[in-house]
Structure 1
Amino acid sequence: MTRVLFVSSEVYPLVKTGGLADVSASLPEALCRLGYDVNILLPGYPSAMETAGASGASRKARISIDGYTVNLVETRLPGAAVTLWLVDCPPLFGREGNPYQNDQGEDWPDNAWRFKLFARVGAKIAMDQAGLSWHPEIVHCNDWQSALLPVFLEPYPERPGTVFTIHNLAYQGLFSRKTFEDLGLDESLWRFEKLEFHGRLSFIKGGLVFSDRITTVSPGYAEEIQTPALGYGLDGLLRYRRPQLSGILNGIDTRTWNPEEDPHLDNHYGRDHLKNKRLCQANLQRSLGLGPNGAVLLGFVGRLVEQKGLDWLLTVMPPLLERGCQFAMLGSGERRYEEPLKELSLKWPDRVSLTLGYDEALAHRITAGCDLFLMPSRFEPCGLNQMYSLRYGTIPVVHSVGGLRDTVFDPADTGIDNANGFCFKSPDSASFLAAIERALDCHKNRKAWRRLQENGMAGDYSWKQSALHYGELYQGILAERQDPNLK
């Protein structure tokens, strides 16, 4: 049984700011079902420590790192038979709210120290130096917060194999040269082919340079990040490491996201019995104060930031409202997007519902109750919401990038029998609006619309295939470490 240490700064339901948390809960569980022995390592945020305490967690080890005393607290991932270790260090992680930012939306000034220590703890476990009775054969790191871990393992010939997954290359963990010095990192790492990036310290380069394998969360995004447009200055490095880079499409938790059993819904439905979906829509409209007038209901759930195409969305909303469409929107982000959305909700109170923040139950009800789900992302490494909407018979309208291109198929490209949504390829609001208008026209054709719904709901969005791909990746690394001639 291959032992895997899965290292992540977020795990649902303990802490979540985005899709990383969902992946970090679902993938380890899927790997365990395939016979892997997976333990998750997560910072001991207050929400996580509180949940662990309520479930009878226990301290398994105490270690000293960088002048801090760290307790390793063992518990189980809620609802799963997966061991979870929490890095209990209150001076660094004992802060309420967002794990990376304060209440003003500013990065915690000691983030570099926080996640350096997190990586150090992971390295101690990996090298069997933490006083535990378990150590891994594979260490799987995720995003910049754990990217120094492969750096710390590099000096050890007997180290475990390493995988680094890019969930969003836009977030790189960039810090000053002085921070590099203050962290006490070895001076030899301050080179452009290691951690130096245009005069700054780049955490993410630790994972990109020092890991045995690099993955990202869709085949499309794996190609895109090797281009100047979406490589964020790292495209050259990623092209250099192309032989070690692969894209493995994320899955979703098909138990949590299941319209036939979803506890957040008053009415349930499936591919062969879609009638209750209309009741979900009526309930959603009623609860959000939207008029149940037969209007087409368009949904959006996500961060209100430029990456998600909010400027394009704001441009297309007025003409769609004029023609009678309704919008159910959930998310939070930048004020330059929140404020005009508030204005639209005040101007059109019976057609625009805006909920700022995040509400898991409402996200499920929007996904079930809408006719169309909008994802006009400028780039999207994988995207989970389009897979949620497909599973719920809600037709996605997406920008054809990254994982959206890998999962949503337009009837203009594939024919109605193989389609499940609508795509736009030009990065502008006019193309977005045109795709929505094609969707609205299709909505009038009951037979064609039902075919799109059935096609979407028939897809396999589970983690099973993705977990198999990760398992093959792990075994390939282990084989190479036993016989370097296989590289």
Structure 2
Amino acid sequence: MKVLFAASEAVPFIKTGGLADVIGSLPKELAKQGIDVRVIVPKYEDIPARFTQQMETVAEFQLQMGWRNLYCGIQKLEHEGIIYYFVDNESYFRRRGCYGYGDDAERFAFYCRAVLDAMQHIDFVPDIIHCHDWQAGMIPVLYRAHFSYQPYYAGIKTVMTVHNLKYQGLFGQEKFKDFFALGDEHFHGFALEMHGGASFLKGGLLYCDYITTVSPTYAEEIQTPYYGEHMDGLLRSQSHRLTGILNGIDYEEFDPMSDPYVEIKYRDSLVKKQQNKLKLQERLGLPVNKDVPLIALVTRLVDQKGLSLIDRVIKELLSLDAQWVILGTGEYRFEQLFKWAESQYPDKLSANILFDEELARQIYAASDLFLMPSLFEPCGIGQLIAMRYRSVPIVRETGGLQDTVQAYNEETGEGTGFSFTNYNAHDLLYTVERAVELYKNPESWSNLLANLKKKDFSWRKSAQQYASLYSKLVQ
């Protein structure tokens, strides 16, 4: 079985969010199932030199995009047993960051076209092209319109995975006609048309052979108006070929026993975990005290992450007998909120308004509780890493958070964290209060940590589900 992953980012080369973690770790697990998985991403300027220096050029050709005749290079690198291809065109990709440019439609139109054109030059014809998020969304459309009837390309199946439905690649129809040489039949409501424009993601969803998303609950949620981002009707109509497969994390990458950023290595030792807490408290200027629960928030500081709830009850939260450590960047109002909180409550909260992977790992290792009160969360990776590092999650019951965190029940002793259902600030406050209270009960706390120990959020089970899906599609 041969599978080509098409995505706009992948760890360790380039990352803006959880998509990159998936593309960096899932192929390794699929390879263990005997699948020949390869990955194709754009070659951005920000890819570190230690990788670009190892890349070899395997193809150079002219690519036709509408009326344009463009250079396309394909470079190749093997990393941790997986072959990665990089689409090279300096005018599109030699710039800082991945997205947010005025010509993003053209850049990712080029990428989608390059993925399909490259196959005949790299000597790899997959059974499945697995497309991720809107940036790869036009690959199934182009395949159906221009490639499926060519002998070399016949029989390829396409899978579209939605990592976050909010981002849909919506642009003017004239751009699609210009870049993709598609006739008017592709631009009605049952095809690419969306709000008067056209959508990369909608194209991918309608023209692919199968749709997946990154948790079972999110697959259900996006078929409702509240979570559906104006695509709920389309997704309900396609529910017979839509499934949610839970994301995992790379257990070798995220391991407190071997994490290079964690000072005192541990697995299930509460004593060693607390030693990490004392070191972090000292480093961040918080009162050094192993008995006070340390609550972590490591996230993008944006509305989706439930920060409006924290804003509503921040004084009440800071009056609890707990310490807080915040790490992340994002919207100005939330950055200011946490800076204000730190200035008012320096003994209670440390605000680190930056992106720092090393500090993030140390916070996972040091914290007792990990807060994710998200408005919506397709899967979430923070709670999975937290549980791996034995930091107990406090979450809102949505998407992948609902699928991965079971509310603790004092009567039965079952559960792996704390959760609340409604998007409500006082429900959040009550749940945090309950978690802080339970921390003071050593018997309940050790029981909770013992439950975490039994959980497996590695990629193994999910990779088996993907492998099974691929097999059904190519039968």
Asked if TM exceeds 0.5, the reply is yes
Shift of 1:205: 0.6
Tell me which residue corresponds to 2:114: 121
User: Given the superposition, is the C-alpha separation of residues 418 and 331 from structure 1 closer, same or farther in structure 2, using an over 3 Å criterion?
Assistant: same
Counterpart contact for 2:13–2:51, Cα < 8 Å: no
Tell me which residue corresponds to 1:20: 19
Counterpart contact for 1:381–1:403, Cα < 8 Å: yes
Shift of 1:49: 6.4
* C-alpha distance in structure 2 between counterparts of 1:204 and 1:382, whole Å: 18
Mean Cα displacement is larger for which, 414-423 or 133-142?
Answer: 414-423
In the TM superposition, 1:318-397 aligns within 5 A as: 318-397=315-394
Counterpart contact for 2:109–2:180, Cα < 8 Å: no
Tell me which residue corresponds to 1:282: 278
Tell me which residue corresponds to 2:125: 135
Structure 1: runs of 5 or more not aligned: 101-106, 480-487
In the TM superposition, 1:204-223 aligns within 5 A as: 204-223=201-220
Structure-1-length-normalised TM-score:
0.92
Mean Cα displacement is larger for which, 59-68 or 364-373?
Answer: 59-68
* C-alpha distance in structure 1 between counterparts of 2:207 and 2:181, whole Å: 15
| 1:427 has 2:426 as partner | no
In the TM superposition, 1:50-89 aligns within 5 A as: 50-54=49-53, 56-65=54-63, 66=65, 67-77=69-79, 80-89=80-89
In the TM superposition, 1:430-445 aligns within 5 A as: 430-445=426-441
* C-alpha distance in structure 1 between counterparts of 2:307 and 2:373, whole Å: 8
User: Given the superposition, is the C-alpha separation of residues 51 and 116 from structure 1 closer, same or farther in structure 2, using an over 3 Å criterion?
Assistant: farther
* C-alpha distance in structure 1 between counterparts of 2:197 and 2:259, whole Å: 46
* C-alpha distance in structure 1 between counterparts of 2:342 and 2:408, whole Å: 32
Partner SS for 1:75: strand
* C-alpha distance in structure 1 between counterparts of 2:82 and 2:313, whole Å: 44
| 1:227 has 2:224 as partner | yes
User: Given the superposition, is the C-alpha separation of residues 177 and 152 from structure 1 closer, same or farther in structure 2, using an over 3 Å criterion?
Assistant: closer
Tell me which residue corresponds to 1:104: none
**Matched residue type, 2:59:** A
| 1:255 has 2:252 as partner | yes
* C-alpha distance in structure 2 between counterparts of 1:226 and 1:184, whole Å: 29
Counterpart contact for 2:75–2:86, Cα < 8 Å: yes
Counterpart contact for 2:170–2:197, Cα < 8 Å: yes
* C-alpha distance in structure 1 between counterparts of 2:279 and 2:41, whole Å: 38
* C-alpha distance in structure 1 between counterparts of 2:420 and 2:412, whole Å: 16
String of CA shifts for 1:182-201, please: whole Å, max 9, x gaps: 43441321111111012011
**Matched residue type, 2:57:** R
* C-alpha distance in structure 1 between counterparts of 2:57 and 2:227, whole Å: 43
Structure-2-length-normalised TM-score:
0.95
Tell me which residue corresponds to 1:452: 448
1:151 to 130, 141, 163: 141
The RMSD of aligned alpha carbons is 1.4
- Quote the sequence identity (%): 39
* C-alpha distance in structure 1 between counterparts of 2:93 and 2:450, whole Å: 45
Partner SS for 1:113: helix
Mean Cα displacement is larger for which, 346-355 or 207-216?
Answer: 346-355
Shift of 1:63: 1.9
Shift of 1:291: 1.3
Partner SS for 1:222: helix
Counterpart contact for 1:393–1:456, Cα < 8 Å: yes
Shift of 1:359: 1.1
String of CA shifts for 1:366-420, please: whole Å, max 9, x gaps: 11111110000001000111111111111100000010000101124x9553201
* C-alpha distance in structure 2 between counterparts of 1:190 and 1:290, whole Å: 58
Shift of 1:53: 2.6
2:165 to 163, 169, 191: 169
Structure 2: runs of 5 or more not aligned: none
Tell me which residue corresponds to 1:484: none
User: Given the superposition, is the C-alpha separation of residues 416 and 289 from structure 1 closer, same or farther in structure 2, using an over 3 Å criterion?
Assistant: farther
* C-alpha distance in structure 1 between counterparts of 2:32 and 2:434, whole Å: 42
| 1:193 has 2:190 as partner | yes
Alignment size in residue pairs: 463
